[in-house]
Amino acid sequence: MDFSFPEELLSDIGRFNDFLNDGFETRLNAWYRRRDLPREFFAELGRAGGYGFTFSEESLVKRSAFQEALFAEELARRSPGAAIAALAHADLGMMGLYLFGSDQLQRRYAENALNGKTIMCLGNTEGHAGSDVAAVAMQAEAATDGWRLTGTKSFVTNGALADLAVITAVTDPGADRAHRLSMFLVDLEQPGARRTRLNKQVWLPSDLTRLELKDVAVPADHLLGRRGHGLAQVLQIFTHSRVAIAALTLGTAAGAFDLAVRHAARRTAFGRRIADHQAKSFEIAERHAEIEAARLALWKACWTVDRGEDFREQASIAKLLAVAAARKTTAWAADIFGAASVMFEHPIHKFPMDAWGASLGEGTQDVQKLIIFREVIKRYR
Ligand SMILES: Cc1cc2nc3c(=O)[nH]c(=O)nc-3n(C[C@H](O)[C@H](O)[C@H](O)COP(=O)(O)OP(=O)(O)OC[C@H]3O[C@@H](n4cnc5c(N)ncnc54)[C@H](O)[C@@H]3O)c2cc1C
């Protein structure tokens, strides 16, 4: 594997970093303190080319997984909460449109989604359907002009702001578990859609929202992909977004590590810099090695995606290792700051909370282990 990046990729990342450093990071911090991410965030990020897609010949085109991972890491180093809003918009919402939207739907929605004028989200999780993705109960009833959706999606990132949602619902209750669900593109401005913003404490300033749909009309041409294939389709979206969330989680670990090591290299205690106490110097080395190992797993996942090969195992390994590194590093980094770290306004404060969020979104650690095990055991049977 060649670790040298092409010139073009390096200059894209340079430009993206300039954009982040040129006032955007300051605005991110202000939004964090207000606990509110405005619509302009999505538009600004779109103008900076911050999503993993481009628009060409009236349809979405996916960028390289490498580029997307590097961008996600940079954004998450500054704000994992802003990075998850971007991920829910692009890697869950737009990904549904990219993988399963007809040419007509892409022509209608993709350009505005890319420039952040139309905000997207994805709702699958319900009261009894979390890790068990297939257990969705939302009903889709056939109507003369399409479908009527009724039910509740309990945790939807961007649900408070989104214009369009990718939603799974039961179209074929009599079918087997693998063929009960279909996937829809739902206009959340339709009558019958109600949003309740939840009081979450991780991944600020993004929102987490409960979406209640009551007889919400969905035109027939807004069914994404194939009727009865919603489960396989949503799992395909999650496999893609798992690589993006591994990158976001790596950025969470790396952002906390940078802050903590910078502090440890300056602050003195017992007559020497904190970093020069041998116990702390060993911890710095260990955290660095764990982050590097997670980064290598992520890059292998990106390499596999970009070669067009099956990347299920690599995506789950990347997320498993990134979350393990982030949970350990962020808690450690907060300790390095001592009492100051417990203040909401302190730059380190958000990181342990955001690593916790990362351990849940796109599948828990247990779910990653189930996926990895299934892939490994195939080779022994
Ligand atoms: C901040 C945040 C943002 C989110 N955003 C979205 C979103 O945009 N869209 C969306 O649809 N969902 C979203 N979710 C929901 C998220 O995907 C689910 O929370 C997650 O899949 C876990 O489901 P659950 O909470 O129902 O936990 P459960 O599935 O009830 O799991 C509870 C515990 O049991 C373990 N467990 C479950 N099954 C097994 C098993 N077979 N073997 C071993 N252990 C198991 C789990 O690992 C976990 O520890 C979000 C969640 C959070 C916290």
Tens of pLDDT along 47-75?
A: 999 999 999 888 899 999 999 999 999 99
Q: Does the Cβ of 245 fall within 6 Å of ligand 1?
A: no
Residue 298 CB contacts under 8 Å (≥ 6 apart), including other chains: 69, 243, 246, 247, 250, 318, 321, 322
- Write the residue with the smallest CA distance to atom 42 of ligand 1: 366
Q: Is the CB of 314 under 6 A from ligand 1?
A: no
Report percent pLDDT > 70 for the chain: 100
Judge if the beta carbon of residue 88 lies within 6 A of ligand 1: yes
Cα 353 to averaged position of ligand 1 atoms, centre (Å): 16
Residue nearest to atom 25 of ligand 1 (CA): 130
Residue 116 and residue 51: Cα distance in Å, rounded?
Answer: 10
Helix, strand, coil share (%) of the chain residues, nearest 5: 55, 20, 25
Atom number, ligand 1, closest to the C-alpha of residue 84 = 3
Query: 338 CB contacts (<8 Å, ≥6 apart)?
Result: none
Residue-level pLDDT at 5? 87
Q: Ligand 1, closest atom to CA 123? A: 11
Alpha carbon of 68 to those of 14, 73, 96: distances in Å? 14, 9, 17
- Helix extents (H) in 88-226: 95-100, 103-114
- Ligand 1 within 6 A of 157 CB? yes
Nearest to 158 by CA among 74, 71, 93, 234: 93
All domains of the chain, ordered by start, with CATH?
7-119 (1.10.540.10), 121-228 (2.40.110.10), 232-378 (1.20.140.10)
CA of 131 to the centre of ligand 1 (A): 5
Residue 83 is predicted with a pLDDT of 98
- Identify the residue whose C-alpha is closest to ligand 1 atom 37: 131
- Name the residue of 87, 125, 362 to mutate for ligand 1: max ligand atoms within 8 A of Cβ: 125
User: What distance in angstroms lies between residue 322's CA and the mean position of ligand 1's atoms?
Assistant: 17
Q: How far is the CA of 125 from the centre of ligand 1 (A)?
A: 8
CB 51 within 8 A of CB 97: no
State the first-to-last Cα distance of the chain, in angstroms, to the nearest integer: 29
Considering just the CA atoms, what is the radius of gyration of the chain in Å? Answer: 21
191: its two tokens: 């009558």
Closest-CA residue, ligand 1 atom 1, reads 357
Quote the CA–CA distance of 14 and 17 in Å, as a whole number: 5
Nearest atom of ligand 1 to the alpha carbon of 370: 42
pLDDT at 4: 87
Which atom of ligand 1 is closest in space to residue 125's alpha carbon? Answer: 11
Distance (angstroms) between ligand 1 centre and the Cα of 196 equals: 19
> What are 222-254's pLDDT values in tens digits?
999 999 999 999 999 999 999 999 999 999 999
Ligand 1 center to residue 130 CA distance, Å?
Answer: 4
pLDDT by 10-residue block (mean), the chain, 381 residues:
88 96 93 95 96 91 95 98 98 98 96 96 98 98 97 98 98 97 98 98 98 98 98 98 98 98 97 97 98 98 97 98 98 98 96 98 96 97 89
Burial of 379 (0-12, 13-18, 19+ CB in 10 A): exposed
Say whether 178 sits in a helix, a strand or coil.
Answer: helix
Ligand 1 mutation target, pool 91, 92, 155, 327, most atoms within 8 A of CB = 155
Query: What gap in Å lies between CA 180 and CA 174, rounded to an integer?
Result: 7
Identify the CA nearest to 5 among candidates 73, 76, 78, 70.
70
DSSP helix/strand/coil, 296: helix
- Residue 57: predicted pLDDT: 86
User: What amino acid occupies position 215?
Assistant: D
How far away, in angstroms, is 363 Cα from ligand 1 center?
Answer: 6
